[in-house]
Copies of this chain bind each other. A is one copy, B any other.
Amino acid sequence: MREVAVIGVGMTKFGELWTKSLRDIFVEAGLKAIDDAGVDHIDAMYVGSMTPGLFVGQEHIGAMMADYLGVAPIPAVRIESACASGGFAFRQAFLDVASGMNDIVLAGGVEKMTDGADVTYALSTAADQEYECYQGITFPGLYAMIANAYFEKYGASRKHLAMVAVKNHKNGALNPNAQFQSEITIDDVLNATMVADPITVMDSSPVSDGAACVIVTTVDIAKKLKKPIVKVLGSGAGTDTIALHQRKDILSLEAVRIAGERAYKMAGIKPSEVNFAEVHDCFTIAELCIIEELGFAPRGKAGELTEKGETSLNGKIPINTSGGLKSKGHPVGATGIAQIVEVVEQLRGNAGKRQVKNARIGLTQNMGGSGASSVVHIFTI
């Protein structure tokens, strides 16, 4: 396999982008990434998107985005793994370059969620329609069950969830691309409207529009372009039962653990060598479970780690320096790529007020559904 690097990144602001269409926002992010990389062409393209068919009545967006980005007739295809679509799109771009098939590849992600579709229904198609959704449960309810089981087993409380939201908003307030650039308090979360006990609306990531793109090439080509080279050290992916109730343990995110293990193995590093990470905090409880699966906290201790400030910007292992899904926003197909945009900006030392000190190794973890799919990448500069 050829060594692979990221040489360009670009994203739109995340939020309610009512004046821009699906194609507009993808092209905006794509042009920024191409400009940042300083390349004069791309050879292939992967577009992560969860359900543009249900959100805006448009499928076939690999070809459409190649057309509107002005790069047709290059090969272009859409990659879907629910909310992990962006992360998997990056993985396919990585494999494409690593294989020797193409030299310069764009991996992007996009979603337009605020154009009037039934968002809860559209998102519920990431769960098991026959055995979960038809019975009346959607994602806040699924994560609420995980949270209650977590509280029961480890003695954590709603305050620990709230601390995740507070930290991520604090980071998001420093990110000009974030949907919510405002700090919040523990009480704001605890007193917010309950969605599915114990998950309040402030424990939940928002409904967002947005796009993000990165340019991937070989390390050899990157050197010739004289760009800051962010190397891809490892790529891991995994799957689990699509229905939460079919797992041996609903607190165990097997797909995350396995994706992490594979990425660590490929990178040849241990979790303790990671300096910072972007993880999939679709709900606050998810961040706690994920950082345990990735080896950043012992089992049941993620709340404590958060409480001690170790996952904050100046902590031992800063988590979601971008603001995460909670504060930066969660246009589902774009999220996995936006995580990589943040890690690249941090490794380049370009993250401004939210810059992590001595950022040498960064990790991204993107997840679909209640954890039925996950993908992890590890980067270094």
Rounded to whole angstroms, the CA-CA distance of A60 and B72 in the bound complex is: 27
Q: Are B81 and A77 in contact (CB under 8 A)?
A: yes
Label chain A's interface by main secondary structure: mixed
Q: For window 51-103 of chain A, which residues contact chain B by CB distance below 8 Å?
A: 51, 53-54, 56-60, 62-64, 66-67, 72-82, 88, 91-92, 95-96, 98-101
Q: A177 within 8 Å of B by Cβ?
A: no
Chain B positions within 8 Å of A51 at CB level: 53, 59
Q: Is A122 in contact with B53, judged by CB distance below 8 angstroms?
A: yes
The listed residue (B21, B76, B133) touching A239 by CB distance below 8 A is B76
Closest to A75 in B: B237
**A368 and B63 contact, Cβ closer than 8 Å, known pairs A53-B54, A77-B80, A81-B78:** yes
Q: With both chains docked as a complex, state the minimum distance between the C-beta of A232 and any C-beta of chain B, in angstroms.
A: 12
Determine which of B60, B73, B79, B242 lies in contact with A63 in the assembled complex, contact meaning CB atoms within 8 Å.
Answer: B242
The answer for the CA separation of A1 and B79 in the assembled complex, in Å, is: 22
Q: Residue A181 at the B interface, CB < 8 A?
A: no
- B77 near A60 with CB under 8 A, answer no
Of B44, B80, B121, B128, the contact of A78 (CB 8 Å cutoff) = B80
Q: Decide: A128 and B57 in contact? CB cutoff 8 A.
A: no
Question: Distance in Å from the Cβ of A367 to the closest Cβ of chain B?
Answer: 10
A125 at interface (Cβ–Cβ under 8 A)?
yes
Min distance, Cβ A114 to any Cβ of chain B, angstroms: 17
Q: Flag if A59 contacts B126 (CB, 8 Å).
A: yes
Q: Is the CB of A79 within 8 A of B81?
A: no
State whether B79 touches A77 (Cβ < 8 A). yes
Check if A171 is an interface residue, CB within 8 A of chain B: no
**Chain B residues closer than 8 Å to A148, beta-carbon distance:** none
A109-153 residues at the B interface, CB under 8 angstroms: 121-122, 125-130, 133
Q: Closest residue to A126 on the B side, CB-wise?
A: B60
How many angstroms from the CA of A59 to the CA of B88 in the assembled complex?
Answer: 15
10 A-B contacts (beta carbon < 8 Å): A51-B59, A53-B53, A62-B81, A63-B242, A64-B128, A66-B239, A72-B238, A73-B239, A77-B88, A79-B79
Q: Which A residues fall within an 8 A CB radius of B?
A: 1, 21, 44, 50-51, 53-54, 56-60, 62-64, 66-67, 72-82, 88, 91-92, 95-96, 98-101, 121-122, 125-130, 133, 235, 237-243, 246, 254-255, 258-259, 368-369, 372-373, 375
> How far does the alpha carbon of A96 sit from the alpha carbon of B93 in the complex, in Å?
11
Task: Name the B residues within 8 Å of A98 (CB-CB).
Answer: 99-101
By beta carbon, the residue of chain B nearest A45 is: B239
The answer to whether B373 touches A60 (Cβ under 8 A) is yes
The answer to whether A64 and B238 touch (CB under 8 A), given A59-B125, A95-B101, A122-B53, is no
A76, A121, A240, A373: most-surrounded residue (chain B CB, <10 A):
A373
Contact, CB under 8 Å: B129 / A72 = no
CA distance A373 to B129 in the complex (A): 30
Question: Which residues from chain B contact A122 at a C-beta distance below 8 Å?
Answer: 53
In the assembled complex, the Cα of A182 lies from the Cα of B96 at a distance in Å of 43
Residues on B with beta carbons closer than 8 Å to the beta carbon of A238: 72-75
Also in contact, A255 and B73, with CB within 8 A (given A53-B53, A96-B95): yes
Give the Cβ gap from A331 to chain B, nearest Cβ, in Å: 15
Tell whether, in the assembled complex, residue B73 and residue A129 are in contact, meaning their CB atoms are under 8 Å apart.
Answer: no
| CB-contact partner of A99 in B1, B237, B240, under 8 A | B1
A80 and B60 contacting across the interface, CB-CB below 8 Å? yes
Q: Name the B residues within 8 Å of A241 (CB-CB).
A: 67, 72
Give the docked Cα–Cα distance between A91 and B50 (Å): 20
A137 to chain B, nearest CB (A): 14
